[in-house]
Amino acid sequence: MRGLLVGRFQPFHAGHLGTVRRLRTEASDEELIVAIGSAEQSYTWENPFTASERFEMIARALAEASIDGVLVVPVADIHRHALWVRYLEGLLPEFGRVYTNNPLTRLLFEKSGYRVERPPLLDRTHLEGRKLRELLASGRPLGNRVPRSVARYLAEIDAAGRLALLRGAATARSGTRRR
């Protein structure tokens, strides 16, 4: 039975890759579905990269690390939590196990009877994604926080320029709202 790992991957980083490698090693006869959440979002501070770009990062990182048996699927938001699990069941190939650290995701899947596990190596993914966006926006190096192929791709698409601009826009808007 396939496993399912859901994330936004803004960007796809070394923690994600380590988790995917571990899951594929521990259960090598079991494919892993990597669902790219909020696929319709892009060019915002929280979701700077399109699903296409995130798919590309994941594909390159998996190729670099010679990991196979992974199905990458972009998934648009449905904005109705009560329908979300059912929505994924209708979209993805069959899966039997869910890996997540997100408490809401855990709750929704458990209510639907799924076995939910904490993914290895991924305790602070959410914070790591934000940290990486901030490093990019500040023009600082990401070091080994992302796979090499991802670092090259981020340079190709000038991620640093985009993030700096989006951080500025988010700050301006937030300032407006604070009033």
The CA distance from 128 to 121, in Å, is 12
Which residue's CB is nearer to a copy of itself, number 25 or number 179? 179
Residue 169 beta carbon to a copy of itself: minimum distance, rounded to whole angstroms: 5
Which of 8, 6, 62 has its CA nearest to residue 35? 6
Contact assessment for residue 59 and residue 66, using Cβ atoms and an 8 Å cutoff: no
Which residue's CB is nearer to a copy of itself, number 25 or number 176? 176
Q: What angle do CA 60, 4, 75 make, to 5 degrees?
A: 70
Residue 50 beta carbon to a copy of itself: minimum distance, rounded to whole angstroms: 5
Residue 81 beta carbon to a copy of itself: minimum distance, rounded to whole angstroms: 4
Which residue's CB is nearer to a copy of itself, number 81 or number 115? 81
Cβ-proximal residues to 138 (8 Å cutoff; 6+ apart), any chain: 164
At how many degrees (to 10) do helices 159-178 and 148-156 cross? 70
Side-chain-side CA neighbours of residue 53 (13 Å): 24
Which residue's CB is nearer to a copy of itself, number 144 or number 164? 164
The CA distance from 129 to 2, in Å, is 26
Residue 9 beta carbon to a copy of itself: minimum distance, rounded to whole angstroms: 13
Residue 173 beta carbon to a copy of itself: minimum distance, rounded to whole angstroms: 9
Chain residues in the site for a copy of itself (CB under 8 A): 39-44, 46, 50-52, 55-56, 59, 71-74, 76, 79-83, 86-87, 89-94, 102-104, 107-108, 126, 130, 134, 162, 165-166, 168-169, 172, 174, 176-179
Which residue's CB is nearer to a copy of itself, number 46 or number 144? 46
